[in-house]
Amino acid sequence: MVGEIEKKLPSSVFGRWVRYMHEDGNKVDKSDRFPELLKFLIRERRSVEYTMEGIRTSQTTKSAMVHSLDVTTKSGCIIHRDGQHKTGSCRTFISKSVAEKMNILKESRACFSCLTVGHTIAKCRRKKQCGVQGCTRLHHNLLHRQEHEKVETDLTTTCRQRQTLFCCS
């Protein structure tokens, strides 16, 4: 049920939700996310109400708030919410396997080329070729897979899809 709710969230709210779930020290039970999602959405609603109150009183506040929300959503790290660094330079993100990075990006609905939330690679204005070992595919170089990684990931995905106990053992 949580997955269906997540699909209906605006991309900016979904991005903040994912960053919240991946925060260091977050002790949310991943199998029962509904209570935490409900608390998160209530906090989001209060933030919007507070922002809307400010917009009614000052037109300059409106443009400042909209600009600030866009910058926070589209730049900064997907994993850490502090905005001190971008996903491409995040040590936590870099240390993960390509498959883990891909999952984080998929969950965040982030672009595979520029690693930011808010659009897909199809609509990315900064997409470029990978360039690692002459790779001409359009993806961020941190997502470049060696052939053995691709085979292992494909096998693991196939096994999960089939939910077989004896596959790949």
Residue 168 above 60 pLDDT?
no
Alpha-carbon span 72 to 68, nearest angstrom? 6
Residue 144 near residue 132, CB atoms below 8 Å: yes
Please tell me the distance from the alpha carbon of residue 80 to that of residue 86, in angstroms, as a whole number. 9
Over residues 98-155, the pLDDT tens digits come to: 999 989 888 888 899 998 888 888 888 888 889 998 999 989 999 998 755 554 555 4
From the list 92, 81, 143, the residue with the least C-alpha distance to 115 is 143
Closest to 123 measured CA to CA, from 106, 135, 132, 110: 110
**Bridge partner list, 117:** 110
* Least confident span in 8-12, 82-86, 106-110: 82-86
* Residue 73 · residue 14 · CB < 8 Å: no
| Tokens 């001409």 -> residue | 136
